[in-house]
Chain A
Amino acid sequence: DVKVTQSSRYLVKRTGEKVFLECVQDMDHENMFWYRQDPGLGLRLIYFSYDVKMKEKGDIPEGYSVSREKKERFSLILESASTNQTSMYLCASVNGGVVYQGFFGQGTRLTVV
């Protein structure tokens, strides 16, 4: 079974803190994505990566950055956490090739106080 693992299930951070959310997949997938999910807004794409050290902005990249130093790991960084970044954060991993499947991690519920 494909495993996508996010480092924390629940996280509480203070305003202004630098926050790291880690995501690791074990299936050698090329494509990895970070989303946030808010009620009524669905999943919104923050950043994605299609290869090591490659990154592309999604629809709402402001206030976030990412890092992909190794193929299996994609990190989301909140440079200076703010209360409007309180959300559920979901990491997804999608294989390349002919038949596509996409898998999500269990999600990180981040609260910024």
Chain B
Amino acid sequence: GQNIDQPTEMTATEGAIVQINCTYQTSGFNGLFWYQQHAGEAPTFLSYNVLDGLEEKGRFSSFLSRSKGYSYLLLKELQMKDSASYLCAVRDKDGGATNKLIFGTGTLLAVQP
């Protein structure tokens, strides 16, 4: 089976740092994506991790630990425009050459002044 867990909602203050966690259990693993989705819009790509460790991209960083089935997205210097849903997605290597892309239900982040 497959299961991807994220907190449903988080609140943080403008200028602060927030960490959004994602834990997963899948039959296979071939990488993990993070997406940002503003209300009424399509998800936009933030990051992809396939090896353990931290990937930094400006104010956003993503961490992966394959042995723990765990990832987090770190957002620094929060801005009001960062208020959005953040989606964790796993490439589940379901045998053979095919790769399912499975999403968690997302974390709704509210940034307050």
Interface residues in chain A, defined as those with a beta carbon under 8 Å from any beta carbon in chain B? 31, 33, 35, 40-45, 48, 50, 56, 58-59, 90, 92, 94, 99-107
Partner of B48, one of A41, A48, A101: A101
Interface segment, one of B10-18, B21-29, B37-45, B63-71:
B37-45
**Chain B interface main SS type:** strand
A59 nearest CB neighbor, chain B only:
B102
Chain B hits for A99, CB < 8 A:
48
With A50-B98, A100-B31, A101-B48: A42-B43 Cβ-Cβ less than 8 Å: no
With A42-B105, A90-B43: A100-B91 Cβ-Cβ less than 8 Å: yes
Number of A-B contacts (CB under 8 A): 60
Partner of A102, one of B41, B45, B94, B106: B45
Contact A48 B101 (CB under 8 A): yes
Contact A41 B105 (CB under 8 A): yes
